[in-house]
A and B are shown apart, each in its own frame.
Chain A
Amino acid sequence: MASVSIIPSGDYKTSYGSDTTIFPTRTSRNFAILGVILLLACPAFMDRYWLSLLIQIGYLGIAALGLNILVGFTGQISIGHSAFFGFGAFASAWASNSLGVPVALAIPLAGVMTTLVGLLFGMPAARLKGLYLAIATLAAQYILQDFFARADWFTGGTAGTIAEPLTIFGFAFDTDERFFYVALVALVVMYILATNLMRTRDGRALVAVRDHYLSAEIMGINLTKYRTMSFGISAFYAGIGGALYAHYLQFVSVEGFTILFSIQFLGMIIIGGLGSIMGTLMGTAFMVFLPEAMQALTKLVSGTALDTALNLKDNIAFLREMSIGLVIILFLVFEPDGLAHRWKQIKAYWKLYPFSH
């Protein structure tokens, strides 16, 4: 991957610490902080539609980051991520409904419970690779889905279960305007955690396992430990994302957590950029906005001369689904390294302007 790191001339690094800072330059850090501050002001001027999309990016982004740690950083594969997302959602609803745990604690608890389940299903990863591992995670998807539909005590069976809204000191985060802040805080915390993880020994070990497992093992990295751990971390993120989803929607039902949803998670990280934390967020935003953009586009087309000329009528809805697929294919053909890579190129272009070659 040709990642061009653009460091201003004269900005030398003199220690390992400064080489692994989260933000390469002061400006980039300031921009990130400014971005968060701007987001804080969003509920003041955005309507519910946009807020709900941003909240979606929030909880899906957290779960997608988990998958990126597993797939992008550790080089494993999972096509059962939505099942872990679902487990987190049900676990949090169950903890707050049946055990009486306050929602604010139920969410991290759900993360821990999902981690345990993730470790369990990650055990085959210690011995399986590639396609075989993919099939093993497929099993996780189906086992969990069936469990959701049958475990009445835990999930309410096929009827689903109600989840209480998050309440802190009597203040209920039950509207989009309020929940937006919950999603934002969770997103920032989880992303900083992941970024920091990648700067530690463990994080580097994960990357080493991805790049060349044999060399990693020779260097003293316990493959079994790190592969399984990666599943656990991935499940933790999925669990937290799922729990947030549960308390945002205030209802969880088995229907949502299908394999299609798992593949969407894979789509998010592939489009965003495998092994890129910022790319994960970009990919999630892309996957959330794309159907909405297509919806708006089809609304524009319907009823126009083009519509009547081609006699589209009811088929416009299908046209939308097809164009979503098409956009994704085009994206993979022309931007295989993901949005994160494109972003770097855009930045480089402007930094070197007008002398970029």
Chain B
Amino acid sequence: MSIKTALFATSALLLATSATAYADIPVGHLADQSGATSDVGVPYAQGVADALAYINSKGGINGTKLAVDTVDYGYQAPRAISQYKKWSSGSDKIAALQGWGTADTEALTGFVGKDEIPAYSGSYSGHLTDPTGKGPHGSKPAPYNFFYGPSYSDALRGMLMWAAEDWKKQGGQGKPKYVHMGANHPYPNAPKDAGEQLAKELGFDVLPAVQFALTPGDYTAQCLTLKEAGANYAYLGNTAGSNISVLKACQTVGAKVQFMGNVWGMDENAAKAAGAAANGVVFPMRTAVTWNAEVPGMKTLKDISKISDASGNAYRPVHYMAGVCTAFYMKEAMDWASKNGGVTGPNIRKAMYQKKDWVPAGLEGVCVPSTWTDADHRGMTAVNIYRAQVTGDTGASVADLVKAGTIKLEKLTTVDVPRKPEWLGW
């Protein structure tokens, strides 16, 4: 082959690929695969990526493929912003964003609103639920922010309601003591005020918040504080990785506290890593079931899982499933948009409001029915509260441990958190 032919062939190839690239629907995907929250960021991002690849393998959005660009931003908001700026300008402007953390999602709120790019985040910050900015707690308008699941604040409210009941059931004397724990970071801080406020109303004695970093470390001092203060219920605002350190340290010092994780605070991997220390931790779950459940939607999920695990044997944690649900809500909205004027930001947003209590097709029984309206982006206010049960040694693989019943995520109750207007955007 002469140089000329080679050149011609490459340029023809380039032209062809760029031509198809423009016909696709560009989607940006921000993932944390190496940063402080990568312990849960990796399975969630895998869920999103697999789901989007699966959608493409089934013909994409009414025949148009999604051009997904997955970028690891290391949980650093500035990196997310600079990546977003690359995605949001020029001719290949993204139609939607699959985002991740609270700091970056909240920082991007103004940008996505201006650029009209729907952002589906892995952050469930209550601040993102107010599309009009009319919430009484000074929330900024977030018309293009969506997430699948109860907000951090609503999930905490649900757990506090459960805790108040639990205290009575256990025959506790006097006021139960509640403490908020987490890093000084937008993500753990997001539900802090909302939780402490409701705790007071429910008759808890609210202790000063206790800080621990987003990274695993020695948190014995924090646990001694809990023990001395006599805390009864503690909210863990961080992701599983650092929570495990706290759980283990508290077990060592003998602090008898009922821990309540956030949606990212506990999962099958964390239960394995923490072992007996994770036993009894309660946490809210976004999906209706876990991986081994037998519901119609699991068939689709198993197919999606084969995208990155050809053997089909991998056990996927709850975060993977939540990632798939989030991606599929976006997919259905895009389907509607493509039939109603084209896949553009404003159309996708409108599409999210078309149905009530809906579950994406194919995921029945997995995703929890959600409703978004143009005045309220609290998709879900029903909080499914689960308890982690760990019995025995957790040396085996997660799949085996779950099969043997050593690790069990047991459903306690569903708390319907009232959709109060004064809680919008808080």
- Whether B89 and A48, one on each chain, are in contact in the complex, defined by CB atoms closer than 8 angstroms, is yes
8 Å CB contacts to B: which residues of A239-282? Answer: 249-253, 255-256
Identify A249's interface contact among B82, B89, B103, B185, CB under 8 A: B82
Interface: B186 (CB within 8 A) = yes
Interface residue from B78, B81, B110, B184 paired with A158 (Cβ < 8 Å): B184
| Interface set, chain A 217-234, CB cutoff 8 A to B | none
Contact with B along A144-170 (1 / 0, CB 8 A): 000001100000001110100000000
Chain A residue nearest to B34 in the complex (CB): A317
Which residues of A lie under 8 Å from residue B89 when comparing CB positions? 48, 175-176
Q: Which residues of A contact B164 (CB under 8 A)?
A: none
B314 within 8 A of A: no
Q: Which residues of A contact B34 (CB under 8 A)?
A: 317
Nearest residue, chain A, Cβ from B102: A159
- Known A158-B184, A160-B107, A255-B103; judge A249-B189 contact (CB<8 A): no
CA distance A162 to B111 in the complex (A): 10
**Pair A52/B82 contact, Cβ less than 8 Å:** yes
User: Would B78 and A251 count as touching, CB distance under 8 A?
Assistant: yes
Nearest CB on A from B324, distance (A): 22
Is residue A16 within 8 Å, beta carbon to beta carbon, of the partner chain? no
In Å, the complex CA distance between A149 and B186 comes to 11
Interface: B70 (CB within 8 A): no
Q: Are B185 and A253 in contact (CB under 8 A)?
A: no
Q: Is B106 in contact with chain A by the CB < 8 A criterion?
A: yes
How far apart sit A176 and B88, CA to CA, in the bound complex (Å)?
12
**Which B residues touch A251, using CB under 8 A?**
77-78, 81, 107
Instruction: Mark out the residues of chain B between 50 and 85 whose CB falls within 8 Å of any chain A CB in the assembled complex.
Output: 76-78, 81-82, 85
Number of interface residues of B (CB under 8 A): 19
- Asked if B107 and A255 sit within 8 Å, CB to CB, the answer is no
Query: B residues within 8 A CB of A52?
Result: 82, 86
Q: Please, how many angstroms separate the alpha-carbon atoms of A149 and B86 in the complex?
A: 27
Q: Which residues of A contact B111 (CB under 8 A)?
A: 250
**Within residues 190 to 216 of chain B, which ones have a CB less than 8 A from any CB in chain A?**
none
Is there contact, CB below 8 Å, between B110 and A162?
yes
Inside 8 A of B106's CB, which chain A residues have their CB? 159
In the complex formed, the residue of A with least CB distance to B125 is A159
B299-336, CB < 8 A from A? none
Confirm or deny: B174 has a beta carbon within 8 angstroms of a beta carbon on chain A. no
Q: With an 8 A cutoff between CB atoms, is B172 at the interface?
A: no
Which residues of chain B are within 8 angstroms of A158 by Cβ–Cβ distance? 103, 184-186, 189
B341 interface residue (CB < 8 Å to A): no
CB pair A253–B78 under 8 Å, yes or no, is yes
Could you say which residues of chain A place their CB within 8 Å of the CB of B184? Answer: 149-150, 158
Is the C-beta of A49 less than 8 angstroms from some C-beta in chain B?
Answer: yes
**B81 near A250 (CB under 8 angstroms)?**
yes
Q: Is B90 an interface residue (CB 8 A)?
A: yes
CA–CA, A175 and B76, complex, Å: 21
Chain B residue contacts of A149, Cβ below 8 A: 184
Q: Which residues of A contact B86 (CB under 8 A)?
A: 48-49, 52
Q: What's the Cα separation between A255 and B32 when bound, in Å?
A: 15
Q: Which residues of B contact A160 (CB under 8 A)?
A: 77, 103, 107
User: Which DSSP category, helix, strand, loop or mixed, fits chain B's interface?
Assistant: helix
Find the residue from A150, A159, A162, A317 having the highest chain B CB count within 10 A: A159
- What is the size category of the interface that chain A forms with chain B? 10 to 19
For residue A162, which residues in chain B have a CB less than 8 angstroms away from its CB? 107, 110
Chain B: minimal CB distance from A245 (Å): 9
Report the minimal beta-carbon distance from A26 to chain B, rounded to whole angstroms: 40
The residue in chain A whose Cβ has the minimal distance to the Cβ of B82 is: A249
In the complex formed, the residue of B with least CB distance to A89 is: B78
Chain A residues positioned under 8 Å from B90 (CB to CB): 48
User: Which residues of B in the span 310-368 have a Cβ within 8 Å of any Cβ on A?
Assistant: none
A316 CB → nearest B CB, Å: 13
CB contacts (< 8 Å) of B85 on chain A: these are 176, 249
Chain B residues with CB under 8 A of A150? 184
Task: Select B78's contact among A48, A159, A255, A317, beta carbons within 8 Å.
Answer: A255
B214 to chain A, nearest CB (A): 11
Could you say which of B76, B77, B82 has the most chain A C-beta atoms within 10 Å of its C-beta? Answer: B77
- Find the B residue at minimum CB distance from A252: B78
A256's partner among B78, B186, B189 (CB-CB below 8 A) is B78
Q: How far is the CB of B144 from chain A (nearest CB, A)?
A: 16
B82 contacts across to A, CB distance below 8 A: 52, 249
Give A252 to B103 CA distance when docked, in angstroms: 11
Interface residues of A in 310-333 (CB under 8 A from B): 317
Instruction: Indicate the member of B78, B86, B184, B185 with the most A CB atoms within 10 Å.
Output: B78
What is the chain A residue whose CB lies nearest that of B109? A162
Identity of the chain B residue whose Cβ is nearest the Cβ of A314 in the assembled complex: B33
Q: Which residues of A contact B81 (CB under 8 A)?
A: 249-251
- Chain A residues 47-92 with CB under 8 Å of chain B are 48-49, 52
With A48-B89, A49-B86: A253-B189 Cβ-Cβ less than 8 Å: no
Given known pairs A158-B103, A158-B184, A159-B186, the reply for A253 and B77 (CB within 8 Å) is yes
A317 to B33 alpha-carbon distance, docked (Å)? 11
Closest residue of A by beta carbon distance from B89: A175
Docked CA distance A252–B34 (Å)? 21
Determine how close the nearest CB of chain B comes to the CB of A149; give it in whole angstroms: 6
Q: Is the CB of B76 within 8 A of A159?
A: no
CA distance A250 to B189 in the complex (A): 23
CB nearest to B76 among chain A residues: A255
Q: How far is the CB of B174 from chain A (nearest CB, A)?
A: 34
In A127-153, the 8 Å CB interface with B consists of 149-150
Chain B residues contacting A49 (CB-CB under 8 Å) are 86
CA distance A351 to B25 in the complex (A): 55
B78 to chain A: closest residue by CB: A256
A175 to B189, CA, bound (A): 32
Hey, which chain B residues are within 8 Å of A253, CB to CB? Answer: 77-78, 103, 107
State how many angstroms separate the Cβ of B91 from the closest Cβ of chain A.
11
CB distance from A333 to the nearest CB of B (A): 29
CA distance A156 to B13 in the complex (A): 49
For residue A17, give the distance in angstroms from its CB to the closest CB of chain B. 45
Q: Which residues of A contact B76 (CB under 8 A)?
A: 255-256
Cα of A222 to Cα of B90 in the assembled complex, Å? 55
Tell me which residues across on chain A come within 8 A of B189, comparing CB atoms.
158-159
CB closest chain-A residue, reference B81: A251
- Complex-state Cα separation, A250 to B85, whole angstroms: 10
Report A82 CB to chain B, min CB distance, Å: 12
Q: Bound state CA distance, A215 and B349, in angstroms?
A: 72
27 chain-A/chain-B pairs, Cβ below 8 angstroms? A48-B86, A49-B86, A52-B86, A150-B184, A158-B184, A158-B185, A158-B186, A158-B189, A159-B107, A159-B189, A162-B107, A162-B110, A175-B89, A176-B85, A249-B81, A249-B82, A249-B85, A250-B111, A251-B77, A251-B78, A251-B81, A252-B78, A253-B77, A253-B107, A255-B76, A256-B76, A256-B78
Known: A175-B89, A249-B81, A251-B77. 8 other contacts (CB 8 A): A48-B86, A158-B103, A158-B184, A158-B186, A250-B81, A253-B78, A253-B107, A317-B34
Closest 7 CB pairs of A and B: A159-B186, A253-B77, A256-B78, A251-B81, A251-B107, A158-B185, A255-B76
